[in-house]
């Protein structure tokens, strides 16, 4: 078998993975696309290892060894990535990447005015400094 067949397949897999990372909004689909790219690299490593082993008499099969390390790293990456996506989904209610913001960006302090009025020893009037409209503006 020629080296071109697995190389072309690996290029196609890698291109589909890059498209998935750039075009998808769901974090799970982005992780799956990263796995496609890693599998394309693994296919290239094994294909070139087989191709180079035919030329050399003593082979070390380093491409296959690197593939095993890549598979182990990919498994750890998926485990950590899914844990992060699950934690974000539980906190935010969505796994849409476009809607996710930095934690400091969307959670500005809206209780600065309330903190002065509710401190001990400070007289409070009957009105609160924040009402429903200010809360709606703060969350929007």
- How does pLDDT run across 92-103, given as a tens digit for each residue? 888 888 877 655
> What pLDDT is stored for residue 66 in this prediction?
93
State pTM to two decimals.
0.66
Residue 53: pLDDT above 60?
yes
Residues in Cβ contact with 39 at an 8 Å cutoff, skipping those fewer than 6 apart: 13
Phi then psi for residue 59, to 5 deg, are -110, 145
Bridge partners (DSSP) of residue 96 are 26
17 touches 65 (CB < 8 A): no
- Burial label for 40, CB within 10 Å (0-12, 13-18, 19+), is buried
36 touches 16 (CB < 8 A): yes
């Amino acid at each position: 078998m020629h080296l071109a067949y697995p190389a072309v397949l690996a290029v196609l897999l890698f291109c589909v993975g890059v498209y998935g990372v750039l075009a998808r909004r769901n974090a799970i689909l982005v992780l799956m696309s990263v796995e496609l790219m890693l599998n394309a690299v693994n296919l290239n490593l094994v294909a070139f290892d087989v191709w180079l082993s035919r030329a050399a008499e003593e082979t070390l099969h380093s491409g296959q060894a690197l593939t095993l390390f890549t598979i182990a790293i990919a498994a750890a990456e998926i485990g950590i990535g899914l844990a992060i996506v699950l934690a974000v989904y539980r906190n935010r209610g969505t796994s849409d990447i476009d809607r996710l913001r930095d934690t400091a960006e969307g959670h500005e302090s809206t209780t600065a005015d309330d903190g002065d009025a509710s401190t001990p020893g400070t007289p409070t009037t009957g009105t609160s400094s924040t009402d429903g409209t200010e809360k709606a503006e703060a969350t929007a």
